[in-house]
């Protein structure tokens, strides 16, 4: 598939764009957890996951 700009856009419209401009602020405000497929089978919906206690990571000595 060849990428083509729509006629209403011009290449010059994108010269000032910055890659990753909102990356840090997005990461600060969002959490994403990827589950192993076996864990996902054990907890088929988000309500069951929400009821789990939150585990804290061990603190370094």
Rounded Cα–Cα distance for residues 13 and 17 (Å):
8
Half-sphere exposure of 52 (CA within 13 A, CB side): 10
Rounded Cα–Cα distance for residues 11 and 20 (Å):
19
Q: What is the pLDDT of residue 26?
A: 85
How confident is the model over 7-54, as pLDDT tens digits? 888 888 777 888 899 988 888 887 777 888 888 888 888 787 777 777
Question: Domain coordinates of the chain in residue numbers?
Answer: 22-50
More confident residue, 10 or 61: 10
Q: What is the pLDDT of residue 49?
A: 72
Quickly state the pLDDT bin for 60 (edges 50, 70, 90): confident
Q: What is the pLDDT of residue 19?
A: 87
């Amino acid at each position: 598939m060849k990428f083509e700009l729509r006629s209403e856009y011009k290449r010059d419209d994108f010269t000032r764009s910055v890659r990753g401009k909102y990356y840090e602020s997005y990461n600060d405000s969002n959490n994403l957890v990827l589950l192993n497929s076996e864990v996902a089978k054990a907890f088929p919906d988000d309500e069951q996951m929400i009821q789990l206690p939150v585990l804290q990571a061990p603190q370094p000595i």
